[in-house]
Structure 1
């Protein structure tokens, strides 16, 4: 453990001709985390593509709009509007609640496209391109940062 901290401290010292670079052993954990994050990003990208392939769109009708306020909006001047949308699949009706709020209120009775999972229509989201779940971009960005930090340690 002492060797670990000594290597960290010697990284900041000026290098002499006989001195070895201590940063190489720090590179491997960062590169490992980068590869792990890249793999998780690919996994979520694959899940999103599968969801899009197994989904269909329908036209929904706004039946109710819920107002919610941000915690920092103490005066209640800027509400977010979350529509509840009714849509039909075959002879069955389903409800979908918007996951993201709209700044402008939607009118009850207005029509919105809904994307739903064909195998489970209750798994639905508003809009045609929105996919529920984690955004894989986050993992790609974190992977790039850890890879850059790992390379910097190796220099």
Structure 2
């Protein structure tokens, strides 16, 4: 799918589900990694991750566009456009758009991130951390006991 086809699709979906025009740009952004799309607050443009179209097809693309159009129309109307806002959740239900897109297949999430495991020598509580910490400076949050690194 080309950029101009995406633009027409977004305009069509906007009229079909929201009965309002989409007057800004919709573009594919291949740099997006963990999200299906995003609505840009300053420019009011919508960026779509092309990997979702390639992996799941047009049906998933339409659901991502509907989700981003919910952000778009609510923001322009001055209503709650964030994920936690009641206006946003209500509009998502009306147009049958998902709150989050499904994960891409074969995408490694935090697989390269190793965890450090610490244990309290007094109460035995274990802590998992992404970053290494200085056991001379920090103590157990539960009993103030000394910590020891078990695994890195």
Higher relative contact order (CA 8 A, sep 6+): 1
TM (norm. structure 1) is: 0.23
TM normalised by structure 2 equals 0.23
Q: Quick check: which has more Rg, 1 or 2? A: 1
**By percentage of residues, which structure has more strand?**
1
